[in-house]
Structure 1
Amino acid sequence: MDGGARRFARAVLALFAALALLMPAGAAAQPQISDDNIRAELIADGGPTAGGEWMLALHFVPRTDEWHGYWSNPGDAGLGMELAWDLPRGWSAGEPLYPVPRRLVIGGLMNHVYEGAYTVLVPIRVPRGADVEAIDPIGLVADYLACTDKLCVPQRAELELDPAAAEDDPRFVRWRASIAPTLDSRANFAIEDRLLRIGIPLPVDMDLSEPHLFVEERELGRGLRPAYARQQTFFREGDLLIAEIPLDQLNLPAEIVREPAPTRLDGILAFSRDVGVRFTAVPGAVPNAGNPVPVREIPPFWILVAGAIAGGLLLNIMPCVFPILSLKALSLARAGGSQAEARREGLAYTAGVLIACIGLGALLLALRSAGEAVGWAFQLQEPGVVIGLLALATAIAANLAGLFDLPSFSLTRRGEPAGAFATGVLAAFVATPCTGPFMAAALGAALILPPVEALLLFASLGFGLALPFLAIGLIPALRRLLPRPGPWMETFRRIMSVPMALTAAALLWLCFRLGGTTFGWGAAALAAVIVVILAVLGRRRFAARPWAGLLAALLVTGAAIAFLPRVVSEEVEVAESLLDPTPFSKSALADARATGRPVFVWFTADWCVSCKVNESVAIEREATREAFQRAGVVTLRGDWTRRDPAITEFLSNHGAAGVPLYLWYEPGEEGRQLPQVLGPDALVTLAQAAPDHPAGAGQDKLRPDAGGGR
């Protein structure tokens, strides 16, 4: 269609949308067109410069969460935005730049929408010699559509902006980051038998967790248009991604059916939710073959919730939570008091777990939305946090050993909700590295779901973790199964100081692995000072000032948290491995797969106890090494002990919120994700099923690129 026909079609759609408001029984009079439902604001990124590009932003904010806006091609329904500018002579507006849209299917119709606040950028070209100091305010009339699942309302925003008063707006950093960047290589497209095929140059190591192609053109000639709601198919052929999009044949007048196919297609390729690139395609040859790209589908939400609860329950027996079980065991033992005391402690413990899980999840989502490359258990990648945990574990071990005792800090007193709450917080905080097999899908989905649903998943994880102790607190029959309180509890308390001391020792080892020798010895000195302070100030003659020891320990810990991270070493010695792996990188993975050999990639961290258990059980074994040598398996290891944006992105693209992650690549095929719990012979079986190759073949090709540090 020409421009006039397009405007006429949009006007008709707007009319139908307005008339639809009158259809419900008893409906009120048609509302006036305004921007009340999705309010628009015109904002400048500083002032204009003669001969340059001036970036403006249209920032849209819906009045409630039920309203959504549309991409330039709205899909099967809706209406794209129309902009009418009032600019000085010689000035011109470029094409609007949109974020990656989302898919919303209502009644079988696909909508390309934006949920929540979103921003569209528009570049303004300023001519050379323009007097930018004496420019009248510019004007804009924006016509767009605001919809809920049941209702659509045309919107009109009449906006004005004074260039002379424009100032830098810090929000532009975030807005620019949300815009889909432009792919620097041109794509080809072909239309064959009601199928649109587009070949997009994309590196083979680019991971696609949830690919989808948004085509900007609504008409493709000869009465064809994309079938937006039907399944898209993706293939790989080397560095070329091939997308196949079904087309619908419309019953249109003959003059429209005779229109040729367009000479150019524009669109956005989404890699995953809110992440993608813009592309431009021209007519050309598109290969018919390739390896299918698996599309990861998010399970139903109730399955994710069930998985998160099951994962939380499983955390109660995971090795990384065992030190916290000592605290919980004491709490359960002292629950032999009154029903009211048991109920208060159970609820307080549950509240501590829930608040910790939701708080960590909210912080994780906030950091990721701000552009930080972080994943689940990110706090254990921070040296200051590990120092704080070491001090806490040391203090708890000293308390359990009887070196000091505080009235409201004692871990064996009855009816103290504050102690149960603190125990719950600590249990959740330390449990985060153990992303068990039931939690993998739920936590991976939490990174791409809307914030409310994501936080519900984190809360479900906390509920599962707290459920056993909560049941003990609320159900008298379960409490009657526990041993009665007595003098044995003091002995049990001292015995339980051993696993907490081992926890402190493990955190001290992590300090050496995370920050190097100087940092590690500084952490050891901190732990020793805390023990001395608490032991000395916990004696009887200090009983009148029971908080003095804890306050002194807190001051020393605060000083250590402020100072010790400054001595963290840039490089830490890489842990040895029987498999002699290459450090992970996308280029190293691409090189490994190019050898035509099987490839095994594992992602681990020194603070991930379940990772270390898997390594000792299945990976670091002579049988595994021999099987890998016979099959010529190339091995790569991604060490996530420290923050690594490349590894974080790779994990996210594979639906993993954290480690462990294990991938097996057969020659010429996409990676297969292995279970998070590996059996002793799991890798041996995979290697034995692969054809035999000379020992070590393929690994040496990667060795020159391997780094010596982490």
Structure 2
Amino acid sequence: MQARTFATWQALCARGLLALLAAAMLLLVWTPGMAQDAAEGRPADMVDRGTARLVLDNPQPAGGTLDAALVFVPDEGWHGYWSNPGDAGQGIELVWTLPAGWSAGEPAFPVPQTYVTGGLMNHVFEGEHALIVPLSVPPGTPPGSYPVEVFGRWLTCSASLCVPQRATLRAIAVVGPSGTPDAQFERWRAAIPPMLASEARFAWTPTALRLAIPLPAAMDPAAPHVFVQEGELVDYAAPQRFSRVGDTIVAEIPRKGAPQDIGQVTGIFSFGDFGFRFTAVPGDVPTGGTPIAGPGGDLTAPLWLLIGGALLGGLLLNVMPCVFPILSLKALSLAKAGGSEAEAQREGLAYTAGVVLACLGLGTLLLALRAGGSEIGWAFQLQSPGIVLALLALAVAITANLAGIYELPALSLTRPGGGQGAFATGLLAAFVATPCTGPFMAAALGAALVLPWWQALALFGALGLGLALPFLLLGFVPALRRMLPRPGAWMETFRRVLAIPMGLTALALLWLSWRIGGPVFAGLGLVLAAAVVAALVAWRMRKALLALVAIAIMAGASVMAVQASRTHQTGALDSILDSEPFSARALAEARASGQPVFVYFTADWCVTCKVNEAAALEREGVRDAFEDAGVIVLRGDWTREDPEITRFLTAQGVAGIPLYMWYPAGGEGEQLPQLLTQGMLVDLAQDASSTGS
């Protein structure tokens, strides 16, 4: 016992000595610079362990916020520090020189990493990282160029040496109409963790700080860690314990010294390179729950439950409204299964392979783009005018195929042995069906955005398997196939009839083209689609010259359409509700007003969203109930890519839309079901009205 006590005391002394030496070294290198500042003004730049620069998100209008990025790139083997550096190190100091009336806000940091040496933990950044600082531009500022300057002092360290860095960074701010978002700046902005929509809570115990962090039950993060912003509250190097109680993550962090009487605790809840910012206020923190990470950080997240949710979500997607445009292709695949058992099995496997491959491909692309800094979510493909243009041409080509204008072996759905056609149908079914999310599916896909890549791909694969499961069962269960009509001449007539719903799908895509790209873009889309059909007909007739002319028209129409889409701004959505466009600032102001708030996210390509709007939202009863209760309505249009909407969706633990949020007056937000009813919304408004009165 005495030996163990002595060893513990020896370890504590060693840690204390290391901390003292680190502080002494920091004092030696920092104090001369401070004295030089006082005696001579700002010293000359000294950045010899990396690079630093100031980049502005130009241009921005007056009366708004101009984001400034301070971009640091330490040399290999060196690192910088978070605002709370941990047991040792130094946070950055900034002094701004701005035009008269301008002001700089607090810098927002990306998710830091932990760096442990000698029993001490530091919060660091390795490689390129950018701080985002909002600059307020006063209303009435004339358009023009304005010099912006910031003097920064920071510390860059390696495993054995720390070197103070300082520099005066300059850039020119441009005040004027907002321009096209800069991809590089969006990547830096995307690295900033979003703020959780709901407040966290904290409480002290005799040994620890306990935090209750709201996080949907489907999101069990890998390798969680809490970075506490306030200094001297917790033991940074001590193991952190995590458990889940419903939709809450409970973090227990050994404290440092006596509990402090503070009004809030802020920080970042991270899992890997991703995380959320949070603000915690004093309150009750649940006890018990299911451990999700022990002292060693082992994860016991129920991946099987998430896979089950993705599988069930994909299965239910077969009856969701967003799948209706491709029911014609599925119906023909079902009819074909009336052949031999071997053929039916081949059809089922080919269709399943197409669906699963498409889901895995879309999931892989989504994860890769997000890893590169893009703020996108599920259904990102329909936010691209080029993809919509391709889908329009494909829908018109399939309509012509079904109508009997020509028939391609690869797309033949009525000939025997059409495994190739079943595979193509599966690809198309998944690509068009996946933009909307249904029950069970949203939580699973939301979790996929924060899980390790192999777990995320397992979820995308399970989604595809669920979507293809009815057809796979049809191929391998003879009793199900016997329930289908026998193949015959009727199938040819049925195929032509089904050209009608496929044609309606093409019309819907034409309308979407007009919405996201404008009338010129939609017109060129029609030209492209007609050229595709002409090229296919010419190819089947072996008219090489006509095919080449059609291909040339296709190329010209595509180039002109892309150019037309770049200058088009999406128009406002028509609605009987008195609504305002969604933004984080608009939501904060609406909640601060003391009135109930309803937020909904929609897109022109989301059929489920449009069904909900027609059946529930765009109703006079809902409008009147909202007006009587003083409900503030915010509408997020995700037809085109919007990083701010994507960040909000991610913070809510979902990857796609529809998403409906209800904030009672003075209360926290709650997610509503993805299928709305008029009565549900009226009841919410009436409850809010009675509570307010």
TM class by shorter chain equals 0.5 to 0.7
> How far apart are 1:308 and its partner, in Å?
0.8
Partners of 1:656 and 1:181 in 2: CA distance: 15
Partner residue of 1:471?
473
Partners of 1:391 and 1:274 in 2: CA distance: 39
Partner residue of 2:164?
none
Secondary structure of 2:404 counterpart: coil
Aligned CA distance change for structure 1 residues 516 and 182 (closer, same or farther; 3 Å): closer
Q: Does structure 2 conserve the Cα–Cα contact (< 8 Å) formed by 1:600 and 1:633?
A: yes
Secondary structure of 1:638 counterpart: strand
1:484 aligned residue (486, 490, 511):
486
2:126 is matched by which residue type in structure 1?
Answer: V
Is 2:390 the counterpart of 1:388? yes
Is 2:132 the counterpart of 1:120? no
Q: Does structure 1 conserve the Cα–Cα contact (< 8 Å) formed by 2:660 and 2:672?
A: yes
Secondary structure of 1:602 counterpart: strand
Partner residue of 2:669?
671
Aligned CA distance change for structure 1 residues 597 and 209 (closer, same or farther; 3 Å): farther
> How far apart are 1:518 and its partner, in Å?
1.7
Partner residue of 1:270?
269
Partners of 1:395 and 1:658 in 2: CA distance: 29
> How far apart are 1:328 and its partner, in Å?
1.7
Secondary structure of 2:439 counterpart: coil
2:571 aligned residue (570, 573, 577):
573
Partners of 2:528 and 2:444 in 1: CA distance: 38
Partner residue of 1:563?
560
Q: Does structure 2 conserve the Cα–Cα contact (< 8 Å) formed by 1:195 and 1:245?
A: no
1:420 is matched by which residue type in structure 2?
Answer: A
> How far apart are 1:381 and its partner, in Å?
0.4
Q: Does structure 2 conserve the Cα–Cα contact (< 8 Å) formed by 1:333 and 1:485?
A: yes
Aligned CA distance change for structure 1 residues 330 and 347 (closer, same or farther; 3 Å): same
Q: Does structure 2 conserve the Cα–Cα contact (< 8 Å) formed by 1:593 and 1:667?
A: yes
Secondary structure of 1:664 counterpart: strand
Secondary structure of 1:316 counterpart: helix
1:562 is matched by which residue type in structure 2?
Answer: V
Q: Does structure 1 conserve the Cα–Cα contact (< 8 Å) formed by 2:382 and 2:605?
A: yes
Partner residue of 1:13?
none
Identity %: 49
1:274 is matched by which residue type in structure 2?
Answer: D
1:576 is matched by which residue type in structure 2?
Answer: D
1:489-500 alignment, distance < 5 Å: 489-500=491-502
Partner residue of 2:678?
680
Aligned CA distance change for structure 1 residues 399 and 214 (closer, same or farther; 3 Å): same
2:529 aligned residue (519, 522, 527):
527
Partners of 2:691 and 2:597 in 1: CA distance: 13
Partner residue of 1:689?
687
1:402 aligned residue (394, 401, 404):
404
Aligned CA distance change for structure 1 residues 218 and 347 (closer, same or farther; 3 Å): same
> How far apart are 1:645 and its partner, in Å?
0.5
Q: Does structure 2 conserve the Cα–Cα contact (< 8 Å) formed by 1:181 and 1:276?
A: yes
Partners of 1:589 and 1:305 in 2: CA distance: 33
Q: Does structure 1 conserve the Cα–Cα contact (< 8 Å) formed by 2:322 and 2:608?
A: yes
Q: Across the two proteins, how many residue pairs are aligned to each other? A: 537
Partners of 1:529 and 1:661 in 2: CA distance: 38
Partner residue of 1:6?
15
Partners of 2:586 and 2:112 in 1: CA distance: 29
Q: Does structure 1 conserve the Cα–Cα contact (< 8 Å) formed by 2:513 and 2:525?
A: yes
Q: Does structure 1 conserve the Cα–Cα contact (< 8 Å) formed by 2:359 and 2:460?
A: yes
Partners of 2:260 and 2:618 in 1: CA distance: 58
1:564 is matched by which residue type in structure 2?
Answer: A
2:608 is matched by which residue type in structure 1?
Answer: S
2:560 is matched by which residue type in structure 1?
Answer: F
1:228 aligned residue (232, 240, 248):
240
Q: Does structure 2 conserve the Cα–Cα contact (< 8 Å) formed by 1:57 and 1:122?
A: no
1:334 aligned residue (333, 336, 358):
336
Secondary structure of 2:350 counterpart: helix
Partner residue of 1:214?
227
1:644 is matched by which residue type in structure 2?
Answer: D
Is 2:599 the counterpart of 1:593? no
Partners of 2:352 and 2:333 in 1: CA distance: 13
2:77 is matched by which residue type in structure 1?
Answer: L
Aligned CA distance change for structure 1 residues 577 and 246 (closer, same or farther; 3 Å): same
Aligned CA distance change for structure 1 residues 338 and 624 (closer, same or farther; 3 Å): same
1:614 is matched by which residue type in structure 2?
Answer: N
Partners of 1:333 and 1:229 in 2: CA distance: 55
Partner residue of 2:372?
370
Secondary structure of 1:662 counterpart: strand
Partners of 1:174 and 1:56 in 2: CA distance: 24
Partners of 1:260 and 1:669 in 2: CA distance: 28
Partners of 1:347 and 1:519 in 2: CA distance: 38
2:563 is matched by which residue type in structure 1?
Answer: R
Larger deviation, residues 674-683 vs 522-531? 522-531
Partners of 1:173 and 1:664 in 2: CA distance: 32
Aligned CA distance change for structure 1 residues 307 and 561 (closer, same or farther; 3 Å): farther
Partner residue of 2:381?
379
Partner residue of 2:648?
650
Partners of 1:176 and 1:621 in 2: CA distance: 41
Q: Does structure 1 conserve the Cα–Cα contact (< 8 Å) formed by 2:336 and 2:413?
A: no
Aligned CA distance change for structure 1 residues 413 and 670 (closer, same or farther; 3 Å): same
Aligned CA distance change for structure 1 residues 59 and 521 (closer, same or farther; 3 Å): farther
1:63-212 alignment, distance < 5 Å: 99-101=111-113, 120=126, 194=206
Partners of 2:497 and 2:591 in 1: CA distance: 51
Partner residue of 1:699?
none
Partners of 1:244 and 1:351 in 2: CA distance: 41
2:327 is matched by which residue type in structure 1?
Answer: L
> How far apart are 1:435 and its partner, in Å?
0.5
> How far apart are 1:528 and its partner, in Å?
3.8
Secondary structure of 1:57 counterpart: coil
Q: Unpaired segments of 5 or more residues in structure 1?
A: 11-42, 61-70, 83-96, 104-110, 124-137, 144-171, 184-189, 200-207, 234-242, 251-256, 696-710
Partner residue of 1:85?
none
Q: Does structure 1 conserve the Cα–Cα contact (< 8 Å) formed by 2:605 and 2:639?
A: yes
Partners of 1:628 and 1:220 in 2: CA distance: 45
Partners of 2:513 and 2:111 in 1: CA distance: 41
CA shift digits 1:567-615 (9 cap, x unpaired): 1243232121011210001111111112211110000000000000011
2:353 aligned residue (346, 351, 354):
351
> How far apart are 1:364 and its partner, in Å?
0.3
> How far apart are 1:478 and its partner, in Å?
1.7
> How far apart are 1:525 and its partner, in Å?
2.9
Is 2:55 the counterpart of 1:58? no
Partners of 1:521 and 1:469 in 2: CA distance: 37
Secondary structure of 2:660 counterpart: strand
1:324 aligned residue (323, 326, 331):
326
2:378 is matched by which residue type in structure 1?
Answer: W
2:268 is matched by which residue type in structure 1?
Answer: L
Partner residue of 1:625?
623
Provide the TM-score with structure 2 as the length reference: 0.66
1:623 is matched by which residue type in structure 2?
Answer: G
Aligned CA distance change for structure 1 residues 404 and 682 (closer, same or farther; 3 Å): same
Secondary structure of 1:270 counterpart: strand
Provide the TM-score with structure 1 as the length reference: 0.64
CA shift digits 1:144-191 (9 cap, x unpaired): xxxxxxxxxxxxxxxxxxxxxxxxxxxx999988987999xxxxxx99
Larger deviation, residues 517-526 vs 584-593? 517-526
Partners of 1:493 and 1:178 in 2: CA distance: 47
Secondary structure of 2:241 counterpart: coil
1:329 is matched by which residue type in structure 2?
Answer: A
Partner residue of 2:633?
635
1:55 is matched by which residue type in structure 2?
Answer: P
Give the superposed CA RMSD.
5.1
